[in-house]
């Protein structure tokens, strides 16, 4: 596939991933809005977070990056792919067995017996996901994003139904385990229908050594990512209790999870696209800039509105019991700006064959941030409670970000000034729009929270759209044209 065809598929892939991401986000927001207002309390959310936040690490541990190696490498044979499957199946079986004693330790650590059973139940999901992981990776390598995103939409519809159904039926914290299993079941069925695949009964580990090497580096980076982005939940739960963890979890989910979801529109296709462009430095630079600007255009207006009106958002949509999450949400909005940029860079490093650089960044983050969680909880915890851990993010994450940006730009031979100059116009436009939104707020003290939220968000978004169109040439029309261009 030539560069022109790759670009065309990239634009179409962005459109489909964007559509699916919007649908999935709306389903998730709707489900959480209902369950948090009606059935799930801050304390229950805190208890569920003690175990559910560990699930992404377990998913990665069963794969060890071998699916990413299938996408990145060009030397596939049926024997190699089958060997990857059997290795993954064995690892997931071992890990599922280990979750029984691990769950007991986690339950004892937090004093919540239900955690042991929830962690053990998740082991079944780890085994099942092997039956669609390989064909899903092959479809991603072939840039078959339309089919993948249609499956994703139906799978998340199943999860949406599971969240509402299990919460309404009184399953409580178990909703956070059972609903994702509904999504995985539908994903597995859909993938096998669109790309039927069966492993051969072969095991040629020596021939897959390069896959194992690449996958180990990639998965180590991803595991470290989820370590430093989940360990804070354990710190908050241990230091401040389940209720405070419920507030902190919802502040994080309100801000940084949407940033990751928005970025996934790009990340979903970034890795295979960068892998196809490796060795073409000019094209890599242009694609990195394009992906980063797209991320910023979508994510920063959202972060601006949350920063200006976090308390009103929580009050209007989730009820007064959740307003205590607003201070942490505002602090995490500042972190979200850097995360919007940083999430695009590891797929580039992995795609061009330098997963060790991603691993180095993750090692730095996995050292600096957890140290910050503990340190700030001890130092500021007595006065700020769980918000102290949000301050740890604010002061420690920029260190890891600078390491990642340096590693990435060095690999593609671009100066930091040149990169920031090409993407900096978007943040400046959003910052100016925030000033307009902030100017409106003092005029609305005596109105309802809903009206105040509508006015602040409306002014901010309108000004952002005007400034982006006037100064950056970015509008709905130009985006639509770029997606249609051949």
Domain that holds residue 355: 229-486
Same domain as 415, residue 307? yes
Domain presence at residue 146: yes
What pLDDT score does 486 carry?
A: 41
Which of 156, 185, 215 finishes a domain? 215
Burial readout 378-408 (b: 16 or more C-beta within 10 A, e: otherwise): eebbeebbbbbbbbbbbebbeebbebbbebb
Q: What are the phi and psi torsion angles at 171 (to 5°)?
A: -75, -15
Q: How many domains would you assign to the chain? A: 2
Is the Cα torsion angle 24, 27, 30, 33 positive or negative in sign?
Answer: negative
Domain presence at residue 475: yes
Domain presence at residue 220: no
Q: Tokens in use for 75?
A: 């030397």
Dist CA 184 CA 166 (whole Å): 16
In sequence order, the 6+-apart residues with CB closer than 8 A to the CB of 93 are: 127
Q: Which ranges of the chain have pLDDT less than 50?
A: 482-486
Same domain as 264, residue 374? yes
Dist CA 203 CA 231 (whole Å): 36
The model's pTM is 0.82
Domain presence at residue 38: yes
Domain presence at residue 436: yes
Which of 180, 215, 250 finishes a domain? 215
3-state secondary structure of 40: coil
Same domain as 299, residue 190? no
Domain presence at residue 223: no
| C-alpha closest to that of 358 among 72, 84, 12 | 72
What pLDDT score does 328 carry?
A: 97
Domain presence at residue 39: yes
CB atoms within 10 A of CB 162: 22
What pLDDT score does 462 carry?
A: 95
Percent of the chain with pLDDT over 90: 57
What pLDDT score does 483 carry?
A: 44
Cα within 13 Å of Cα(322), Cβ side = 29
Same domain as 197, residue 252? no
Same domain as 246, residue 187? no
Helix then strand count (H, E) for the chain reads 20, 0
In sequence order, the 6+-apart residues with CB closer than 8 A to the CB of 83 are: 202, 203, 204, 205, 207, 208
Same domain as 327, residue 269? yes
Dist CA 141 CA 272 (whole Å): 6
Helices 78-110 and 114-128 pack at an angle, to 10 degrees, of 180
Same domain as 204, residue 269? no
Same domain as 471, residue 368? yes
Same domain as 248, residue 198? no
What pLDDT score does 281 carry?
A: 85
Q: Extract the runs of DSSP E, i.e. beta strands, from 152-200.
A: none
Which of 215, 249, 272 finishes a domain? 215
Question: Contact 245/50 with Cβ under 8 angstroms?
Answer: yes
Same domain as 258, residue 147? no
Same domain as 379, residue 313? yes
Q: Is 353 left (phi over 0), alpha (psi -120 to 50) or beta?
A: left
Same domain as 193, residue 240? no
Burial of 442 (0-12, 13-18, 19+ CB in 10 A): exposed
Question: Contact 320/382 with Cβ under 8 angstroms?
Answer: no
């Amino acid at each position: 596939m030539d560069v022109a065809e790759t670009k065309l598929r990239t634009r179409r892939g962005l459109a489909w991933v964007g559509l699916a991401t919007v649908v999935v986000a709306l389903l998730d927001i709707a489900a959480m809005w209902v369950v948090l207002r009606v059935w799930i309390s801050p304390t229950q959310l805190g208890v569920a977070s003690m175990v559910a936040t560990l699930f992404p690490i377990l998913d990665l541990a069963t794969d060890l990056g071998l699916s990413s190696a299938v996408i990145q490498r060009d030397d596939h044979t049926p024997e190699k792919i089958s060997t990857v499957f059997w290795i993954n199946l064995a690892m997931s079986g071992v890990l599922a067995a280990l979750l029984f004693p691990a769950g007991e330790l986690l339950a004892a650590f937090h004093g919540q017996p239900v955690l042991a059973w929830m962690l053990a139940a998740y082991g079944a999901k780890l085994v099942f996901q092997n039956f669609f992981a390989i064909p899903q990776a092959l479809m991603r390598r072939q840039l078959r994003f339309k089919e993948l995103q249609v499956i994703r939409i139906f799978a998340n519809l199943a999860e949406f139904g599971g969240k509402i159904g299990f919460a309404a039926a009184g399953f409580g914290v178990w909703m956070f385990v059972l609903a994702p299993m509904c999504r995985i079941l539908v994903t597995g069925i859909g993938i096998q229908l669109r790309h039927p695949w069966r492993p051969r009964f072969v095991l040629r580990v020596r021939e897959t050594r390069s896959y194992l090497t690449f996958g180990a580096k990639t998965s180590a980076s991803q595991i470290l990512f989820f370590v430093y982005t989940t360990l804070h939940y354990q710190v908050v739960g241990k230091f401040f209790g389940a209720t405070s963890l419920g507030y902190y979890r919802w502040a994080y989910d309100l801000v940084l999870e949407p940033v990751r979801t928005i970025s996934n529109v790009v990340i979903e296709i970034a890795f295979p696209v960068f892998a196809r462009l490796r060795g073409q430095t000019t094209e890599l630079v242009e694609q990195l800039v394009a992906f980063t600007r797209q991320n910023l255009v979508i994510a920063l207006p959202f972060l601006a509105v949350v920063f200006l009106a976090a308390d009103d958002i929580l009050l209007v949509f989730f009820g007064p019991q959740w307003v205590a999450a607003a201070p942490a949400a505002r602090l995490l909005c500042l972190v979200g700006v850097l995360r919007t940029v940083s999430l695009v860079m590891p797929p580039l490093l992995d795609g061009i064959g330098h997963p060790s650089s991603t691993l180095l960044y993750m090692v730095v983050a996995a050292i600096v941030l957890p140290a910050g969680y503990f340190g700030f909880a001890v130092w500021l915890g007595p006065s700020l409670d769980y918000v102290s851990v949000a301050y740890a993010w604010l002061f420690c994450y920029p260190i890891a970000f600078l390491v990642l940006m340096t590693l990435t730009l060095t690999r593609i031979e671009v100066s930091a000034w040149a990169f920031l100059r090409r993407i900096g116009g978007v943040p400046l436009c959003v910052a100016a729009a925030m000033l307009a939104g902030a100017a409106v707020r003092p005029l609305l003290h005596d109105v309802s929270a809903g009206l105040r939220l509508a006015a602040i968000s409306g002014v901010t978004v309108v000004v952002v759209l005007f400034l982006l169109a006037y100064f950056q040439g970015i509008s709905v029309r130009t985006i639509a044209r770029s997606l249609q261009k051949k």
